[in-house]
Every structure is written in C-alpha cells, then in structure tokens.
Amino acid sequence: FIKSLNLYSLSQVSAARQKHTLPDLMYDYGALQPHICAEIMQLHHSKHHATYVNNLNVTEEKYHEALAKGDVTAQVALQPALKFNGGGHINHTIFWSNLSPNGGGEPQGELMEAIKRDFGSFQSMKDRMSAATVAVQGSGWGWLGFNKDSGRLRIAACANQDPLQGTTGLIPLLGIDVWEHAYYLQYKNVRPDYVKAIWNVINWENVSDRLKAAHK
C-alpha cells in the first residue's frame, strides 16, 4: 500500500513538473552559412524559440489552474497565448530538424515518389511551396504537409505561429519560417532570396522520417 501510494504521489509531482524545454540544435549556429547566417540562427534559437518555450510553460501553468477550477472564461482567455507560444515551440522544433549543413539536393525513396505523384515533379513542388511561402502576408510559415485521410502531400501556409496540424489536420513534414526575424538581418526585405536559398540546407532525411511516421 505504501509503495503504491509513493508511486502515485511521485507521478503526481513529476506530472506537474514536466516543462517544455528548448531543444539543442544538431549543428553549430554558423553551420548553415552562407544560406542562413550565424547571427540569425543564434537569435532565432536562443532568443525567439527560447521565449516561446518559457511563455508556453507559464501559459500551461495558468491553464492548469483554470482547468482545475473549471473556469471556462479563463481557459478561453488563455487560448491565444497557448496557440501562439505552443505553436511557436512546435514549429521551431520541427524547423531546426528540417535543416542541416549536409542538406540540399533532392529527396529519395518514398518521399520523392510521393512528391512526383502529388506535384508532377520535385521542381514543381519547390516552385509551388516557394510561391505559397513568399506570399504569406505578415508573419507566418509555409508548409509541406501530409493529409492522412487522402494519403496525399499538400502545400499550406499558416499565419503567425498557428501550428499546421492543430489548425488544419495536416501532418507537418517541412516548414519554412517567413517571420522577418528568420531572414531580415541577412536578406532584408528580399524574402524570395531567402526562400530560394533555404532549399540548399533542407534535411530530406528528416522530412522522409516525418512522412514515414505520419503513415503509422
């Protein structure tokens, strides 16, 4: 009885204490040069993403309290902060894994076949995703996503930090961040140049892994 009580108490405490954390990059801040400069990577990861993580933890803490009281008004009031900071954490975590200093080139295997099937060619997919991404009005992301119901790849764009899966149901495979902080120090207002350059550092293995995982 005592053992099970202690285990129960411990799990309660550990459940309350699990916080989101900023993931480490698998490469140095300067590793994606010249396509994305080191200063951008450092600010983007250690300031912007870190802030989303911190604010997400604060928001979830407040949400926990509101939920415990059954306070619907407070829960609804917290929704924008949860979507913004939670989405920011989800999106950037995917993004860092989508990039690699060994990236670029073309995908292989199942992912390449799916791209050809759903877009006609790899170039066609790149062109359409680039156009949709550049066209985002204000802050947002371009996405290559997977529709589980149809089994098809889809291009989508989301505003601000709206997470792809939570808002559209599409499984995110590859995201391109076009908030100005993602490129402005290097590319200034010329967003198309940034979107063109980023294809040089796309980690197609990671995108493939995400497609495989989406099938399960």
CB nearer its own copies, residue 133 or residue 203: 133
Instruction: For residue 92, say whether it is annotated as part of any ligand binding site.
Output: yes
Instruction: Tell the smallest beta-carbon distance from residue 7 to its own copies (Å).
Output: 41
> 18-25: long-range contacts (C-beta < 8 A, 24 or more apart)?
19/57, 19/60, 20/53, 20/56, 20/57, 20/60, 20/89, 21/53, 22/46, 22/49, 22/50, 22/53, 23/93, 23/96, 25/96
Question: In sequence order, what DSSP letters do the residues of 35-91 get, joined into one string?
Answer: TS-HHHHHHIIIIIIHHHHHHHHHHHHHHHHHHHHT-HHHHHHHHHHHHHHHHHHHH
Instruction: For residue 20, say whether it is annotated as part of any ligand binding site.
Output: no
CB nearer its own copies, residue 78 or residue 115: 78
CB nearer its own copies, residue 143 or residue 179: 179
Using CA atoms, how far apart are residues 202 and 158, in angstroms rounded to an integer?
A: 19
CB nearer its own copies, residue 87 or residue 107: 87
Instruction: Tell the smallest beta-carbon distance from residue 46 to its own copies (Å).
Output: 10
Q: Tell how strand 152-159 and strand 171-177 pair up.
A: unpaired
Counting every residue written for the chain, the total comes to 216
Instruction: Tell the smallest beta-carbon distance from residue 161 to its own copies (Å).
Output: 7
Binding residues (CB under 8 A) for its own copies: these are 43, 47-48, 51, 80, 84, 137-140, 159-161, 179-181, 184-185, 188-189
Instruction: Tell the smallest beta-carbon distance from residue 137 to its own copies (Å).
Output: 5
CB nearer its own copies, residue 64 or residue 188: 188
Contacts of 167 (CB under 8 A, 6+ apart): 158
Binding site membership for Mn(2+): which residues? 44, 92, 177, 181
Instruction: Please state the residue numbers annotated as binding site.
Output: 44, 92, 177, 181
